[in-house]
Amino acid sequence: MKKVQMLFLALMITSTLGTLVAQDKMALPKGVRGEILMTAADAEKKVTALVSAVPQEKFSWRPADGVRSVSELFLHIAGANYLIPTFAGGSKMPEGMDPKTYEQSTTDKAKILEIVKSSFASYRENLMKLKDEDLDKTAKVFGNEMTYRGIYVFSATHMHEHLGQAIAYARTNGVVPPWTEEQQARMKQPTKK
């Protein structure tokens, strides 16, 4: 049983890394910027897949009063993709985007997908503009002194934190994450001899 579990884990890791490298059409810089971009690409692929997979009628669903809805969660991820890089010299927030009200700005699935994709593109552009030596610069972020590198590591961690939340929201609403379905389908395929 352990061998099967280890094989499954190895296949998942290999599949995810292969997909990330293949999907990323731009040449990743070496070093920490490339590693952060690869981590962000993983989050982007999965977040956009979930936005596409969750039915429109579930975008107003929330697990409890006072907790973000599905649409608010996806917009929170997008808003942070725009906001956090501004602390590291990134471009300003998009015109008219108020961080205090942005999460409630729409529940339209198509619009949210467009916003999420645009936010990840902005994130990539901001990180690619930096040079390696810029990563040692510091800035105040929510009252704490951080390096630019730390700001981008924090942002990538934030993406994955809320990706986990989005997975839980999706599964609670009967939606299997698309990459899980793909992995399960590959595991069921007969092996070639």
Give pLDDT, residue 182.
76
Quick count: other Cβ atoms within 10 Å of Cβ 6?
10
Residue ranges of domains in the chain: 30-179
Give pLDDT, residue 192.
66
Q: Identify the CA nearest to 89 among candidates 50, 52, 133, 45.
A: 133
Give pLDDT, residue 107.
97
Contact between residue 45 and residue 120 where contact means Cβ atoms under 8 Å apart: no
Print pLDDT tens along the chain (193 aa).
455 444 444 444 444 444 444 444 568 888 999 999 999 999 999 999 999 999 999 999 999 999 999 999 999 999 999 999 999 999 988 888 888 899 999 999 999 999 999 999 999 999 999 999 999 999 999 999 999 999 999 999 999 999 999 999 999 999 999 998 777 777 777 666 5
141: which strand partners? Answer: 144
Give pLDDT, residue 75.
97
Tell me the CB-side half-sphere exposure of residue 3, using CA atoms within 13 A.
0
Can you name the CATH fold of 30-179?
Answer: Four Helix Bundle (Hemerythrin (Met), subunit A) (1.20.120)
